[in-house]
A and B are shown apart, each in its own frame.
Chain A
Amino acid sequence: MFRSSFWQKNLVLNIVIGIFLLLMLTEILFIGLFLEQILLKSGNNVTPEIALNQWLIYYFLIVFMIRFFIQELPTMEISPLLHLPVDRRRISLFLNYRSLLSFFNFLPFLLFLPFAIQYLPAHYSAFTAFSWFLALFFFEMSSNFLLIRIKRKSTVTPSIILILIAIAIVVLLLGKYDVFSLSVISGWYFGSLLLQPVWVIFPIATAGFFFWENFRYTRNHLYLENLTKKAKPTENLSSHLAGLENRGKIGALILQEVKLLLRNKRSKQMLMFSIPLLLLYGLFFYPDAKNLTRFIILDFVGVFISGGFLIAYGQYILAWESCHFDFILASNIQTEEFFRAKYYLMTIPTFLLFLLTIPYVYFGINILFINFVFLFYNLGVNAPLLLFMASFNRKRMELDRGQMMNHQGIGINNFLNIIPILLFPILLSLLLNAFFSNTVSLWIIFGIGIMGIILHRQFINLAASFFKKNRYKIASGYRNT
Chain B
Amino acid sequence: MIKVNNLKKIYGGQTVLNVPTITIGKGESFGLVGNNGAGKTTFFRLILDLIRADSGEVLSKEKDVTKTEDWKLYTGSYLDEGFLIDYLSPEEYFNFVGKLNGLSRGEVEQFFEIFKEFFNNEILSKKKYIRDLSKGNQKKVGITAALMTKPEILILDEPFSNIDPSSQFQLKKILKGYQQENQMTMLISSHDLNHVTEVCQRIVVLHEGEVVHDLQTNENTLKELEAYFAVKGEGKGMMNDE
Contact = CB atoms under 8 A, between A and B. Distances in A.
B127 A252 contact: no
Given A252-B99, A252-B100, A324 B92 contact: no
B96 A263 contact: no
B92 A259 contact: yes
Contact of B127 (A233, A256, A259): A233
Given A2-B12, A233-B128, A332-B73, A326 B88 contact: no
Interface in B1-57: 11-12, 14, 48-52
B87 interface: yes
A76 B50 CA distance: 32
Interface stretch (B78-86, B216-224, B230-238): B78-86
Contacts of A252: 96, 99-100
B83 A475 contact: no
A327 B82 contact: yes
B61 interface: no
| Size bin of chain A's contact surface | 20 to 34
B51 to A, nearest CB: 6
A330 B80 CA distance: 12
Interface in A424-481: 472, 475-476, 479
A334 interface: yes
Interface residues of B, number: 37
A323 B80 CA distance: 11
B181 interface: no
A325 B72 contact: no
A179 interface: no
Contacts of B95: 245
B127 A232 contact: yes
A342 to B, nearest CB: 15
Given A2-B12, A256-B96, A329 B50 contact: yes
Nearest to B93: A256
Contacts of B99: 245, 249, 252
A233 B85 CA distance: 14
Nearest to A3: B11
A327 B97 CA distance: 10
A181 interface: no
B12 A3 contact: yes
Contacts of B190: none
B149 interface: yes
B168 interface: no
A358 to B, nearest CB: 33
Interface in B125-178: 127-129, 131-132, 149
A333 B86 contact: no
Contacts of A3: 11-12
Contacts of B88: 256, 259
Given A256-B85, A329-B50, A399-B87, A249 B72 contact: no
Given A233-B128, A245-B99, A327 B84 contact: yes
B101 A260 contact: no
Q: Shortest 5 CB-CB distances between A and B: which pairs?
A: A2-B12, A252-B99, A326-B82, A472-B52, A263-B87
22 contacts: A2-B14, A3-B12, A252-B96, A259-B88, A259-B92, A263-B129, A324-B82, A324-B86, A325-B82, A326-B79, A327-B84, A327-B85, A330-B48, A330-B83, A331-B100, A332-B72, A332-B73, A332-B100, A334-B72, A472-B51, A475-B50, A475-B51
Interface of A: 2-3, 230-233, 245, 249, 252, 256, 259-260, 263-264, 323-327, 329-335, 399-400, 472, 475-476, 479
Interface of B: 11-12, 14, 48-52, 69, 72-73, 75, 77, 79-89, 92, 95-97, 99-101, 127-129, 131-132, 149
